[in-house]
Amino acid sequence: MAVAERPEVAMQLNLRPVISFHGVSKVYPTGTVALRDVELAVLQGDFCFLVGASGAGKSTLVRLLIREEVASTGRIFVDGQEITRMARRRLPKLRRKFGIVFQDYKLLSKRTVAQNVAFALQVTRPGQRHLREKVEEVLWIVGLEDKVDKYPDELSGGEQQRVAIARALVHRPRIFVADEPTGNLDPDTSWGIVQLLLQINHRGTTVLMATHNREVVDLVRRRVIAIEGGRVIRDEAQGSYLRPGEATL
Ligand SMILES: Nc1ncnc2c1ncn2[C@@H]1O[C@H](COP(=O)(O)OP(=O)(O)OP(=O)(O)O)[C@@H](O)[C@H]1O
Ligand SMILES: [Mg+2]
């Protein structure tokens, strides 16, 4: 059982959830109920997989967390602050707490690797000092120090995802959110990306990764939060993609 599921243990260890959902539901304007009464607590430094069939509600959960969408009911806290009713002007500061990557890399095709990463920092923190060093440091972390001056279309899919990860890391986020980061990659390359996320987690960053990648989830054996029909149906500390007898996701 994860420490986050044992409030008394978390309190003794003086651990406060960095993310918590309390009775959160999301109904889209179309009437689709994408999340139902979600309760969730993630501690600083946790590594969580979010699994579930297509349409289960994983991306919705991610979008609520970064306040790209607003919960219909319930409350969400990030880093001790309630974000559900947070004023729009405070959202940029909230978003800087997150490093976010998606299945598609969303790189700027006319900019080099280094410029893509630097651009993210210039937008979020204009006037940033030591820009070049910061960019080089994150590119080194993701193993792309020799690709700084390449353009995205000169890179493989896995390398492009690494650039996206570097770009997400450059403002030193507390929480790293990856929504199907390996969705377009072959198994070996996917494995490399997951290793990188584990390394980022090892440096103290909380990681939440939505994935359909069964092999990865079953090999890594970290916390697994399974969603079905908008509900959290399973939350295990060293979980697997499926529980024996569970329907194929
Ligand atoms: N913007 C939207 N407007 C209306 N309905 C939406 C919207 N986004 C998602 N949905 C619906 O909400 C439900 C949950 O979708 P969501 O994208 O969160 O699933 P998911 O678990 O991320 O799926 P996948 O594995 O395919 O990415 C689905 O029924 C989907 O059709
Ligand atoms: Mg999704």
Range of the domain at 192: 43-67+96-236
Q: For the chain, what is the domain count?
A: 1
Ligand 1, atom 28: closest residue by C-alpha:
55
Distance from Cα 91 to the centre of ligand 2, integer Å: 22
- Tell me the per-residue pLDDT of 88-117, one tens digit each, with 9 for 90 and over: 999 999 999 999 999 999 999 999 999 999
Q: What span, in angstroms and rounded, lies between the C-alpha atoms of 127 and 74? A: 38
Ligand 1, atom 19: closest residue by C-alpha:
55
Q: In what order do the strands lie in the sheet with 223-228?
A: 98-102, 175-179, 206-210, 47-51, 223-228, 231-236
- Tell me the per-residue pLDDT of 19-74, one tens digit each, with 9 for 90 and over: 999 999 999 999 999 999 999 999 999 999 999 999 999 999 999 999 999 999 99
Q: Is residue 200 part of a domain?
A: yes
Q: Is residue 47 part of a domain?
A: yes
Q: Where do the H-state alpha helices sit in 111-212? A: 113-124, 131-141, 157-169, 187-202
Percent of the chain at pLDDT exceeding 70: 92
Q: Is the pLDDT of residue 160 over 80?
A: yes
- Residues, beta carbon < 5 Å, ion ligand 2: 58-59
Q: Is the pLDDT of residue 8 over 70?
A: no
pTM here? 0.91
Amino acid at 117: V
pLDDT for 14: 57
Q: Is residue 243 part of a domain?
A: no
Ligand 1, atom 17: closest residue by C-alpha:
59
Average pLDDT, the chain: 91
Ligand 1, atom 25: closest residue by C-alpha:
54
Q: What span, in angstroms and rounded, lies between the C-alpha atoms of 196 and 200? A: 6
CATH of the domain at 141: 3.40.50.300
**Which two three-digit tokens encode residue 156?**
């493989």
Please state the φ and ψ torsions of residue 231, each to the nearest 5 degrees. Answer: -110, 145
Q: Is the pLDDT of residue 125 over 90?
A: no
Distance from Cα 59 to the centre of ligand 1, integer Å: 7
pLDDT for 28: 98
Ligand 1 neighbours, Cβ below 6 Å, are 28, 30, 32, 34, 52, 54-60
For residue 212, give the ligand 1 atom closest to its CA. 25
Q: Where are the beta strands (DSSP E) in the chain?
A: 17-27, 33-43, 47-51, 73-78, 81-82, 98-102, 175-179, 206-210, 223-228, 231-236
Distance from Cα 18 to the centre of ligand 2, integer Å: 22
Residues 118-133: what's their mean pLDDT? 81
- Tell me the per-residue pLDDT of 15-26, one tens digit each, with 9 for 90 and over: 789 999 999 999
